[in-house]
Structure 1
Amino acid sequence: MSNNEIKKPAGRTVSRRKLLAATVGLLALPKLASAQSAVEALINAPGRGDWDDQFDAVTSRSQASVASNQPILGPNASSNLMQAIAEYQRIVTTGGWPEVHPNVPLQFGVTDPSVRQLRQRLIVSGDLPQSAGVSDSYDSYVQGAVKRFQARHGLPETGYIDEYTLRALNVSARVRLAQLETNLTRVEDYGSDLGHRYVLVNIPAAYAEAVENNVVALRNVAIVGRPSRATPILNSKIFEIIFNPPWTVPRSIIQKDIMPLMRKDPNYLTDNKIRLYDNKGQEVDPMTIDWNAERAPNLTFRQDPGPNSAMASTKINFHNKHAVYMHDTPSQSLFNDMLRFESSGCVRIENVRDLDVWLLKDTPGWNRQKIEETIRSGISTPVNLADPVPNHFVYITAWSARDGVVQFRDDIYNLDGAPELALQTTSGIE
């Protein structure tokens, strides 16, 4: 179950989903700049006629944001969800929202009858103000509303309708209502008394919250377990941080990943500084092992510490029966992926040193400078926290903040009971 990175041989095919995430990063700013120029030209042009009511300079410049400093499982989590459920019950009883069936790519500047469907859909869910009206024009109001919708669903805020946004738009109000009700039960089961200071990893959202006095002090992007090697739901306490940690490879990864890799590339272990040890602690030459055998050898596989090791600078330990932990990664580009369900069960944390500082702030002698000096030394250094910090891995696919912003995420492990909610993992895109 442990989460670790295996470097695949060169020539691996780039997945469509990673290409999509990279493309979003490259194209979003040019699209936004182009859109802004078009808006300003229309605002300043004489005789713009019917466009007067369709564009607004402030709206066109605003970025959709639904971020909140409230934790997912704060003291008002249940009441916020119940308020959202009441609103979605109202939406369902009044007929829900229409599906969107584009005739053309839906993006800023397009005029098409399917934009009218999109406007109606966004108005019903509260992403587009009713005052924006219903027309065939994909204007700045629609662009801002789409960004808001995308932010609420954990999608890249591009402002145009891509494949994933369209699928999320066309999940019915009735299914979303059931998703909220399912998650209300989960939230009530978890409870709100999680501790004065705690770390919460929401698996479907693929991020970690460091919470203090019911306020989110840090929110870090994470990579969690793929469906075949799911990150477990658990409650524990973080008791130790290891800087420059060696990595002892779990048996499951040796069997499923390293054995096939060694058959293809006999130098894989040497190139990645992974050593083999027998039960007496004696190092074993990889060339003496039969890598075509059905079962992996009964040896310890340990990777040397270093910036390119599977855990890079940091390993965060907490007691659990699943042998999982949180850690750094040398592959920082993975945090830019839209779908961050790639690990073998553990949780990789972006900007993990910020979390290190927060966790160790009550441990004498371990300020940021000391942490950075220790990491630069390259010496494996375990540090016990003066006060262990509660740690919670939870599975919440729908929640709401007190401002009424309702957020949804894909049901990546198919626990919500509705196939429509497993959009990203069942789309066939690999």
Structure 2
Amino acid sequence: MTAIVKPALAMVSATRGGSDFSGDLMRLNRRKFLRSMTYLGAFAAIPATRAQDSLFDMFDGGASRVLRETDRDGNTAAAQALIATNEPILSFDTLHNLQLAISQYEPFVASGGWEEIPQEAYQLQLGVSSPAVVQLKRRLISSSDMPLVEYASDVFDAETDRGVKNFQARHGLIPNGQIDEPTWYAMNVPAATRLQQLYLNYTRVQNMAASLSERYVVVNIPAATIEAVAGGMVEQRHTAVVGRVERATPIMASKISQINFNPYWHVPKSLVRQDLTKYMLENPNYLTEQNIFIYDGGGQKVDPQSINWANITDAQVNYMYRQEPGAANSMGHCKINFYNPYDCYLHDTPSKALFGENARFHSSGCVRVDGVNQLVNWLLRDNGTWDQNKVDQTFASLQRLDVECQGKVPIHTTYITAWANRQGTVSFRDDVYKFDEQGKVTFEA
């Protein structure tokens, strides 16, 4: 990305429940942003460690002392608190917060931005001493993830651990305090690229904010998260798994209409040809093990062994491949339907481990939801007799049940790679589908 395209930033009248935010609050927000960016540009003047500091660390058992005295759990909690907010990613508030972030990043980028951290910083962690730690500290100070210090020692100390975790939390990475591969790459994204992301996402949010209702669900694809919003506040936030690059989750707006409890899974024709054929060639018992049955056009069961999986015909691809409800079902305990031409939906999954990954781009386009039983209860709020206990009991029964949603909640699948909250925390995500690189701000509904 070379040229920076700056949008026209109209002043936002952020409203919640029909009333404007007070001028005092807006001024307070601006002061917080100003404080959070105070150190931008100052980091380059920080001298490296003094000789006596290194000698002190050597004689005092520097590494073991740092490991012993650092409250690592406390640092992790503090980092997570930076992003713990009930503010939606997609809202009028976000426009105001992005304006403030842009106003701080612009002069910093104009002055040259932050320096890259070297390859030697890779795998640095608490207690390690290295000249690369000095550059790491400068990088963290430049983005306000670490407070300004008089001297930057070469020891990865408690403040550095906290700074790295702050950075990781803002970038959607597991806050482990280590300069692992995702963290190293994220730190070396130029400040100019981050500013461009702020510009692009300001326009994206602006394009969508006017259509938001009192209650809605947002799937933010780059963050692989889901927010259930009511009255301008996030009432639930869920980790998600979304489409991989070659099978991207589509960007659209619709309304959630139906919940399928303990559903069958009908394998899409594209997956029959792309995936099932490969799995059956590797393991002829795959369909049986996965409780998937094949039915021909007349509704008769077809023996999987009667199909030549190395040369499957179009007619055989068009058979119905149906997975029965149960623990192994790819839909898990439920499927959340909304009209769209892509056969896209939200659903449970038996593969829970993927929710713990940094990059959760594994699906074939549909969206897997962690804690989906809570989201289902939220969606059925207008259905009268449903509560969390009834949802959980229905999951456990393994019985098929379809429930029409009385209140059809709008759903937006979005592509927001940069946003900010009122506390001054600016978050970024990777441009997974390369829409930032293309400068794309509008999407086909």
Normalized against structure 1, the TM-score is what?
A: 0.81
Q: Does 1:287 align with 2:305?
A: yes
Q: Does 1:175 align with 2:193?
A: yes
**1:125-149: CA deviations, max 9, x gaps?**
1111114642322211111011000
**CA apart distance, 1:57:** 6.7
**1:66-99: CA deviations, max 9, x gaps?**
2221000122111211211111112112221111
State whether residues 75 and 165 of structure 2, in contact with CA within 8 Å, keep that contact through their aligned partners in structure 1. no
Q: What is aligned with 1:213? A: 231
CA RMSD of aligned residues (A): 2.4
Q: What is aligned with 1:197? A: 215
From 58, 64, 70, the equivalent of 2:87 is 70
From 32, 55, 61, the equivalent of 2:74 is 61
Q: What is aligned with 2:381? A: 361
Aligned partners of 1:347 and 1:413: how far apart in 2?
16
TM alignment of 1:316-355, pairs within 5 A: 316-355=336-375
Moved more, 321-330 or 265-274: 265-274
**CA apart distance, 1:366:** 1.3
Q: What is aligned with 1:314? A: 334
**CA apart distance, 1:118:** 1.2
From 142, 160, 170, the equivalent of 2:160 is 142
Q: Does 1:245 align with 2:263?
A: yes
State whether residues 91 and 205 of structure 2, in contact with CA within 8 Å, keep that contact through their aligned partners in structure 1. no
From 195, 216, 222, the equivalent of 2:240 is 222
Moved more, 162-171 or 338-347: 162-171
Instruction: Count matched residues.
Output: 372
Corresponding letter in the other structure for 1:246:
Y
Q: What is aligned with 2:127? A: 109
Aligned partners of 1:285 and 1:130: how far apart in 2?
69
Q: List alignment gaps of at least 5 residues for structure 2.
A: 1-56, 440-445
Corresponding letter in the other structure for 1:100:
I
**1:194-244: CA deviations, max 9, x gaps?**
211111100010111111111111111100000010000010011111110
Instruction: Give the match's secondary structure for 1:121.
Output: helix
Instruction: Give the match's secondary structure for 2:166.
Output: helix
Aligned partners of 2:202 and 2:89: how far apart in 1?
12
**CA apart distance, 1:266:** 2.2
State whether residues 242 and 314 of structure 1, in contact with CA within 8 Å, keep that contact through their aligned partners in structure 2. yes
Aligned partners of 2:61 and 2:107: how far apart in 1?
37
State whether residues 417 and 428 of structure 2, in contact with CA within 8 Å, keep that contact through their aligned partners in structure 1. yes
**CA apart distance, 1:154:** 0.9
State whether residues 96 and 174 of structure 1, in contact with CA within 8 Å, keep that contact through their aligned partners in structure 2. yes
Aligned partners of 2:124 and 2:297: how far apart in 1?
62
State whether residues 214 and 230 of structure 2, in contact with CA within 8 Å, keep that contact through their aligned partners in structure 1. yes
From 66, 85, 105, the equivalent of 2:102 is 85
State whether residues 224 and 340 of structure 1, in contact with CA within 8 Å, keep that contact through their aligned partners in structure 2. yes
From 237, 261, 265, the equivalent of 2:279 is 261
Aligned partners of 1:188 and 1:247: how far apart in 2?
37
State whether residues 382 and 407 of structure 2, in contact with CA within 8 Å, keep that contact through their aligned partners in structure 1. yes
Aligned partners of 2:126 and 2:61: how far apart in 1?
19
Corresponding letter in the other structure for 1:369:
N
Moved more, 134-143 or 95-104: 95-104
**CA apart distance, 1:290:** 2.5
Q: Does 1:371 align with 2:388?
A: no
From 109, 115, 129, the equivalent of 1:98 is 115
State whether residues 77 and 192 of structure 1, in contact with CA within 8 Å, keep that contact through their aligned partners in structure 2. no
Q: What is aligned with 1:397? A: 417
**CA apart distance, 1:58:** 7.3
Aligned partners of 1:190 and 1:396: how far apart in 2?
11
The verdict on how the C-alpha distance between 1:249 and 1:60 changes in structure 2, with shifts beyond 3 A counting, is closer
State whether residues 88 and 232 of structure 2, in contact with CA within 8 Å, keep that contact through their aligned partners in structure 1. yes
The verdict on how the C-alpha distance between 1:223 and 1:49 changes in structure 2, with shifts beyond 3 A counting, is closer
State whether residues 256 and 410 of structure 2, in contact with CA within 8 Å, keep that contact through their aligned partners in structure 1. yes
Instruction: Give the match's secondary structure for 1:82.
Output: helix
The verdict on how the C-alpha distance between 1:286 and 1:59 changes in structure 2, with shifts beyond 3 A counting, is closer
Instruction: Give the match's secondary structure for 1:322.
Output: coil
Corresponding letter in the other structure for 1:202:
N
Q: List alignment gaps of at least 5 residues for structure 1.
A: 1-44, 420-430
The verdict on how the C-alpha distance between 1:274 and 1:61 changes in structure 2, with shifts beyond 3 A counting, is closer
State whether residues 116 and 139 of structure 2, in contact with CA within 8 Å, keep that contact through their aligned partners in structure 1. yes
From 177, 181, 188, the equivalent of 2:206 is 188
**1:140-181: CA deviations, max 9, x gaps?**
111101100000111110112112211111111111111111
**1:257-283: CA deviations, max 9, x gaps?**
011222232222122111112223222
TM alignment of 1:27-46, pairs within 5 A: none
Aligned partners of 1:103 and 1:243: how far apart in 2?
51
Q: What is aligned with 1:14? A: none
Q: What is aligned with 2:5? A: none
Could you tell me the percent identity over the aligned residues? 45
State whether residues 60 and 144 of structure 1, in contact with CA within 8 Å, keep that contact through their aligned partners in structure 2. no
State whether residues 71 and 158 of structure 2, in contact with CA within 8 Å, keep that contact through their aligned partners in structure 1. no
Higher RCO (Cα < 8 Å, 6 or more apart): 1
**CA apart distance, 1:60:** 7.9
Normalized against structure 2, the TM-score is what?
A: 0.79
